[in-house]
Structure 1
Amino acid sequence: IHQQSAHERVKYEQLKKAGKENPVAVQKTMFPSTLELSPADSAVMEEIISDLHYLGYLIEPFGKNAFVIQGTPADVDAGNEKHVIDILLEQYKHFNPELKFSKREKLIRSLARQQSIKAGTRLTQKEMQQLVNDLFACEQPNINPDGNPTYLEFKQEQLERMFGK
């Protein structure tokens, strides 16, 4: 199992489901932070702000090229809001324009990638088992949102050949 690809699939389906049923719950920040953006990034933010609200980000315009972050989904670490939004904007801007996805779909894919466990992150046995359980509860457990495999399956004969047995 490729843990990052597997977790991307899990996060993607969780975000898709949350987006279909109800908007994601917002955790209001104790101290709202101001996000100063370039004019280009500000235009992107204006374009996606309603979809961000739906996905649990409470962000409001705050003057020219500025926005105030008043809330985020519960799984965003306090104090990390600006960084998360910066990465999200970068991923959204660099999304392959040939893929004709809706703004919300692009955001969900970007968030799933951003929030996933990274390759090489050490997991406990319990975390590994939970990831496997969550993955195989997905509608499409065999690929991540980009179409890459989440796991490889080997038959006993293949393993024996690989090890020269």
Structure 2
Amino acid sequence: MERMQQVVGRARAAFNSGRCRSLEFRMQQLKALERMVQEKEKEILAAIKADLHKSASNAYSHEILGVLGELALAMDKLPSWAAPQPVKKNLLTMRDEAYICPEPLGVVLIIGAWNYPFVLVMQPLIGAIAAGNAVVVKPSEISENTARLVAAILPQYLDR
């Protein structure tokens, strides 16, 4: 329990420092995640095969391509998502400057599922990073090989 409090405390401190909010930091983290998936593809597929006995082609199409597609979309749309969006004015706001400014939530917990152990951790992680949140990831303990791999490689590529 104490270790979890330390992890969450470190994530809160990172978020409160404002480090996660800059567009450059978010893009850098998403690019690092993309590099991780490309460089560790064989290890990811081997872990999924060991956990779920999925064929390499099935795991590749569902897990790897799903994550890479989500990353491409997030990196393409991130500048427009982060910018303030003008809103339609009405009689009460006619003389005001009205816009919606997206703000991150803070610290996000992602709990992985056993049936798609990689993609169901990575896709919410991509969205949380793109939004500017600090993230705590808890992979499924049922898919132990994938959980071990995710725990080992994420800190190598992403800011702790």
Same fold flag (TM > 0.5): no
TM-score w.r.t. the length of structure 2 is: 0.26
Q: Counting helix residues as a fraction of each chain, which structure ranks higher?
A: 2
Higher relative contact order (CA 8 A, sep 6+): 1
